[in-house]
Amino acid sequence: MTQVKQDPDRYRANVGLALFSKAGHVFIGRRINGRGAFQWQMPQGGVDKGEDPAVAALRELEEEVGVPEKLVDTLQETEDWLYYDFPPDLKKRLPGPYLGQRQKWFAFRFKGSDSDVRLDRHTPEFDAWRWAQLEETPSLVVPFKRAVYAEVAVRFERWTEPVLGGKVPQAEAARRAWEDQREDGHGKDLADDSCVGCGGDVWDRMIPVFEADGWTCEAPTLFPGRRVKENPPQSLSELGLDDYIAAMSAKRMRLKRRVARNLP
More confident residue, 40 or 169: 40
What pLDDT does 35 receive?
A: 76
Instruction: Report the C-alpha dihedral over residues 166, 172, 177, 179, rounded to 10 degrees.
Output: -160
- Confidence grade of residue 168 (pLDDT, cut at 50, 70, 90): very low
pLDDT 10s digits, 169-227: 445 555 555 555 555 544 433 333 333 344 455 555 566 666 665 566 655 555 555 45
What pLDDT does 187 receive?
A: 41
pLDDT 10s digits, 45-81: 999 999 999 999 999 999 999 999 999 999 999 999 9
DSSP string, 66-125: ---GGGEEEEEE-SS-EEEEPPHHHHHHS-SS-SEEEEEEEEEEE-S-GGG--TTSSS-S
Other beta carbons less than 10 A from residue 165's beta carbon: 13
* Superfamily covering domain 8-158: Nucleoside Triphosphate Pyrophosphohydrolase (3.90.79.10)
What pLDDT does 77 receive?
A: 96
The residue ranges of every structural domain in the chain are 8-158, 166-262
